Amino acid sequence: MAFNISEFKTQLDWFGGPSRGSLFEVQISRPANIKSRASSRDLIFFCKNASVPGIVFNTVQNDQVAQFRKLMPLGVNTEPVQAIFMLDSDHQILSFFHSWAQNVVNISTAAGSFAEVDGKLPFEIGYKDNYACRVVIRQYSTNYEESGQYYEVILDNAFPMMIGDVDLAWENNDSFSVLPVSLQYDRIQFSGERIGSPTARFGRGNGLLGLIQQIGAVGQLIGADLVPTSVQDAVNKYTRVNNKVRRIKDFFG
């Protein structure tokens, strides 16, 4: 089939045209105890570029006789978000991230080795609830004003894993100072993913969770304490209860 430029353009227009990497914003919920005038909204305008994190699966190689090698997935890794922020002349953006870093680990020794900052001694690690926050990355459609569509990535419990260097040089007279930042997180949510149901797994009736559910249901019926303490204990309890149920059925035959 020959390539048709008109059909190609029509197909692109059907999906709103090609995506533009410049139509984005990064929203960082302001953590507590930040020494900076920069707000979460201010950071949106100073974020020069950012990345939507990739998905990397951990794999193991499976070798079988008379077959090609196969890679089997074992788990998934989180990729950090890389972002670059332009710096202002009042150094409020730089102060924001350095203050945020101090919430993670108290890097200050200005007042001595036993001077506390927010209850943390120098080089003491803070509680994650005190420094982690939500980061939202949005990439807008080219026709956003008409369609209102955008793709969203939500990072929960995010924190700066790395705050990079700021390059200073005499020859940088015609350029702006920038700050590279790497953000790590505990959970991620994509607009394109499907949202599961908390009870979907139990509905299958298979696996360990289904087994525990069956044990719990029978335990409620006969008033027994059947909460298993281990996998083997769950199997043993299930076997004993199943034998009792069979005897009851035989009795009423």
Q: What is the pLDDT of residues 101-128, one digit of tens each?
A: 999 999 888 888 888 888 888 889 999 9
Helices 207-222 & 231-252 angle (0-180, nearest 10): 50
**Residue 173 carries which DSSP code?**
G
Statement: residue 39 has pLDDT above 70: yes
Q: Residue 69 corresponds to which tokens in the numbers above?
A: 């090698």
Confidence of residue 137 (pLDDT cuts 50, 70, 90): very high
User: What is the SS3 assignment for 187?
Assistant: strand
pLDDT digits (tens, 9 = 90+) for 140-178: 998 887 888 999 999 999 999 999 999 999 998 889 999
**pLDDT at residue 240 in the model:** 74
Mean pLDDT of the chain: 83
**Residue 212 carries which DSSP code?**
H
> Could you give the CA distance from residue 214 to residue 166 in angstroms, rounded to a whole number?
59
Average pLDDT score over residue span 22-43: 93
Ordered by where they begin, the domains of the chain are 5-190 (2.30.110), 202-252 (no CATH)
DSSP 57-97: EEEEEE--TTS--EEEEEEEEEPPEEEEEEPPTT-HHHHHH
> Could you give the CA distance from residue 78 to residue 57 in angstroms, rounded to a whole number?
9
What does DSSP say about strands 81-86 and 47-50: parallel, antiparallel, or unpaired?
antiparallel
**Whether the model pTM is above 0.95:** no
Placement of tokens 């008379």 in the chain:
66
**pLDDT at residue 23 in the model:** 93
Q: Let me know how long the chain is.
A: 253
Confidence of residue 214 (pLDDT cuts 50, 70, 90): low
The identity of residue 223, as a single letter, is G
pLDDT digits (tens, 9 = 90+) for 189-201: 999 888 877 765 5
* Count of helices and strands (H, E) across the chain: 7, 9
- Rounded to whole angstroms, the maximal C-alpha distance in the chain is 95
Of residues 97 and 251, more confidently modeled: 97
> Could you give the CA distance from residue 152 to residue 26 in angstroms, rounded to a whole number?
10
What does DSSP say about strands 150-163 and 187-190: parallel, antiparallel, or unpaired?
antiparallel
Average pLDDT score over residue span 13-38: 88
Contact 244, 250 (CB under 8 A): no
The identity of residue 211, as a single letter, is L
